[in-house]
Structure 1
């Protein structure tokens, strides 16, 4: 069975850099809270803690089993358990910009930026850029992961229960495999 992707693919702007854009329901302040409030962030990505100043370390606590109605496929069995990742706030300019290190506190870690801009009173444009990915394999993994997580965010912001996180991740992975250099 082939799953159709609900959202367009991101683009690889250069080797090691992925950019995904979404128009999300809700005013910018509401979308911002889903980036920085750990309980709200937990509904689509990861709970944990949140730092409010550049240089501060925070915790992302991934609980993928809570994201939708699916159990992780066998090849993702490790993600059935809680996974903890430490990151660092690099820049924070509420409610328009959040830049964090990804998966490491080291200076050479990859980094993710979330840029928000209002599109009218009830929608927000998100540009997610993940930089300094070391190779194609990691870029493919990150692309499909962000694609699926942002799909869950879209559902949550619409007030719907997310369906099929793992199905969407696998469909995105197959699509990005032909899209990523």
Structure 2
């Protein structure tokens, strides 16, 4: 297996308080959709939580980042073993568009576009309330998406927290924060 760390392109600010990140994943598109919407698959790369399929519905996401990779790496000071956020589903259009509030930290939209045997995942995180949120969310999405790519491609990941710490320093240089 090949190691993967910060393998994807970096997120970019596409308008104020808005970050966009893209990844290419192995298809079919329905498989990628399942990794976004099914709790048992989503918890492997992001957060667990059952998601309703109707716009306006609330649901909880629970992050347990220590469980994403083995070993997890050194958890930075200030982070607990888990974190939960209440989200609201904004758009649910299988298997192309998924959008929801990200707790109190803006809105996230995933768009899936078939590209032959692969799928282009475009993540746009909008309406981040302050630059400090972007400083955390940019490396967070990058590290989580790297885990998703590794899981879907059968690649070995490096410790999640080590990746996040390295990415946080890199995003601090790249983002207008």
Aligned residues: 173
Q: Which runs of 5+ in 1 are unaligned?
A: none
Alignment partner for residue 106 of structure 2, among 110, 127, 145? Answer: 110
Distance of 2:16 and 2:61 partners within structure 1: 26
What is the CA deviation profile of residues 119-148 of structure 1, one whole-angstrom value per residue up to 9, with x for unaligned ones?
A: 00x210011000001222111110000000
1:28-107 matches, cutoff 5 A: 28-71=29-72, 73=74, 75-76=76-77, 78-79=79-80, 81-104=81-104
Contact 1:68 1:165 in 2 (8 A): yes
Q: Which runs of 5+ in 2 are unaligned?
A: none
Tell me if 1:166 matches 2:167.
no
Q: Look up the SS of the partner of 1:114 in the other structure.
A: strand
Contact 2:74 2:162 in 1 (8 A): no
Tell me if 1:119 matches 2:120.
no
Using the TM superposition, name which of 163-172 and 146-155 deviates more: 163-172
Distance of 1:78 and 1:167 partners within structure 2: 13
Distance of 2:169 and 2:134 partners within structure 1: 13
What TM-score, normalized by structure 2, do the two folds share?
0.91
Distance of 2:18 and 2:62 partners within structure 1: 24
